[in-house]
Chains A and B, each alone.
Chain A
Amino acid sequence: MTELALELIRVEYAYRRDVALRGVSLQVRPGEVVAVTGPSGCGKSTLLHCAAGILRAQAGTVHLVGQNLAELPEADRTRLRRTQAGVVLQFGQLVPDLSLTDNVALPLLLEGHEREAARRAALGWLERVGVADDAAATPSELSGGQNQRAAVARALVTGPAIVFADEPTGSLDTHAGEQIMELLLSSARVGGSALVIVTHDNLVAAYADREVRLRDGVIQHEVSLS
């Protein structure tokens, strides 16, 4: 049996005032593309943050490439997250003062890769996503679409088993959004990464192999689209 890229078992999460997840179970196979959809406030982002280990599930378990996040020591969890889970958020979330190259190299440097090798890998990815000409520029000098391309490169540079994208086209116009979606899908396919896309946009969800629809913190339905 091949190991699942991600498995959530009855995950719960509540903020101070709102219960965001009420027992969500979900499996993502290697290389699979899953769209998590639902109206605003239904818990999509919370689900993504719990799955990526950014938030800690308050009940239930999260397995990332077979490892139970709650059972790992802090340092190992951070390391697993950094190497096996790429994250793309609505607004690139790049480090403002760093060049695109340094932004993309960062996850490798944090993993202790040698500086030149990390830069070379970063440049290779910037080329693949079509912003190699702007490698030396900082995020504020570039458009939202260009930054989002760099964010895709940064998410994939470590060759993660799974990429999490939270409304990755939310701040872009239709055309730039479509280009980012194509890029995310092709990049994930090349590296064999699974892809979990959180979106409220049907046109984005249509790219997935499967739709998981949330409502009020529970899964309303799961349907295959392939």
Chain B
Amino acid sequence: MATAELVLGLLHNGPAHGYDVKRGHDAWFPDSRPLAFGQVYTTLSRLERDGLVEVVDRGSEGGPERTVYALTPQGREHLAHWLAEPIQPALGAVDEMVRKVVATIRTGEDASAFLARQRSSHLRRIRELKAVESDSDSSSWLVRDYMALHLDADLRWLDNALDRITEQKETSR
């Protein structure tokens, strides 16, 4: 998880409190788990230690929630590098579905029943994602689109997999 880099991104438009960072994150990714305060503050202090952010105001009473953070030039550079780097095309979190299908086949369970259940669950989720009204000044539709298209890819993979399994069964009969 690139929480550190996201926090740098959230400071890109100017200095902010940890609270603003958390709020900004949750607004950018409204369908993801909200960022926990604890995580915001540990991330910010780690970034400060590494020289990527600096404290520009401690407030009168001090304490983490009064502290205002800003990007350092190194922080800005680190963020630019992160954004410029393509991600490793590796098997991600969805691989649980792949594992289940492999296990279904290896244990001789009914793969087409799995397909029916997984289609139902994926199609429902796609519908939910599409049902959200997109307001024009928000980027959250980008995330929803990404998720919907990946669910579509999952379903197509599942179709292909089961077609081939069925064909193999038919020819080996």
A225 within 8 A of B: yes
A203 touches B119 (CB 8 A): no
For the complex formed, measure the closest distance between the CB of B81 and the CB atoms of chain A, giving whole angstroms. Answer: 32
A223 touches B120 (CB 8 A): yes
B124-156 interface with A by 8 A CB criterion: 124, 126-127, 130, 148-149, 151-152, 155-156
B115 within 8 A of A: yes
A220 with B112, Cβ < 8 A, contacts A39-B163, A213-B119 known: yes
A39 touches B159 (CB 8 A): yes
A176-211 CB contact bits vs B (8 Å, 1 = yes)?
Answer: 001000000000000000000000001101111001
**Chain B residues with CB below 8 A from A213, complex form:** 116, 119
User: In the complex, what distance in Å separates the CA atom of A200 from the CA atom of B122?
Assistant: 15
DSSP majority for the B interface? helix
Select from chain A the residue with minimum beta-carbon distance to B148: A203
A211 with B123, Cβ < 8 A, contacts A202-B152, A203-B148, A221-B115 known: yes
Select from chain A the residue with minimum beta-carbon distance to B124: A225
Pick from A39, A202, A220, A221: contact of B123, CB under 8 Å:
A202
A202 touches B126 (CB 8 A): yes
Which of B123, B151, B152, B159 is packed against the most chain A CB atoms within 10 Å?
Answer: B123
For the complex formed, measure the closest distance between the CB of A198 and the CB atoms of chain B, giving whole angstroms. Answer: 15
For the complex formed, measure the closest distance between the CB of A139 and the CB atoms of chain B, giving whole angstroms. Answer: 29
A85-104 interface with B by 8 A CB criterion: none
B127 touches A207 (CB 8 A): yes
- Give the interface size bracket for B toward A: 20 to 34
A211 with B130, Cβ < 8 A, contacts A39-B159, A202-B156 known: no
Pick from A178, A203, A225: contact of B120, CB under 8 Å:
A225
Pick from B112, B113, B130, B156: contact of A206, CB under 8 Å:
B130
**Chain A residues with CB below 8 A from B130, complex form:** 178, 203, 206-207
B124 touches A203 (CB 8 A): no
For the complex formed, measure the closest distance between the CB of A17 and the CB atoms of chain B, giving whole angstroms. Answer: 20
**Chain A residues with CB below 8 A from B163, complex form:** 39
Select from chain B the residue with minimum beta-carbon distance to A182: B130
A223 touches B152 (CB 8 A): no
For the complex formed, measure the closest distance between the CB of A204 and the CB atoms of chain B, giving whole angstroms. Answer: 10
Select from chain B the residue with minimum beta-carbon distance to A220: B112
For the complex formed, measure the closest distance between the CB of B20 and the CB atoms of chain A, giving whole angstroms. Answer: 34
User: In the complex, what distance in Å separates the CA atom of A208 from the CA atom of B124?
Assistant: 9
For the complex formed, measure the closest distance between the CB of B153 and the CB atoms of chain A, giving whole angstroms. Answer: 9
A202 touches B124 (CB 8 A): no
Select from chain A the residue with minimum beta-carbon distance to B116: A221
Footprint of B on A, CB under 8 Å? 39, 178, 202-203, 205-208, 211, 213, 220-221, 223-225
21 contacts between A and B (CB under 8 A): A39-B163, A202-B123, A202-B151, A202-B152, A203-B126, A205-B123, A206-B124, A206-B126, A207-B127, A208-B123, A213-B116, A220-B112, A220-B116, A221-B113, A221-B115, A221-B119, A223-B116, A223-B117, A224-B120, A225-B120, A225-B123
Footprint of A on B, CB under 8 Å? 112-113, 115-117, 119-120, 122-124, 126-127, 130, 148-149, 151-152, 155-156, 159, 163
A-B residue pairs, 9 tightest by C-beta: A206-B126, A221-B116, A223-B120, A206-B127, A206-B123, A202-B152, A202-B155, A225-B123, A223-B116
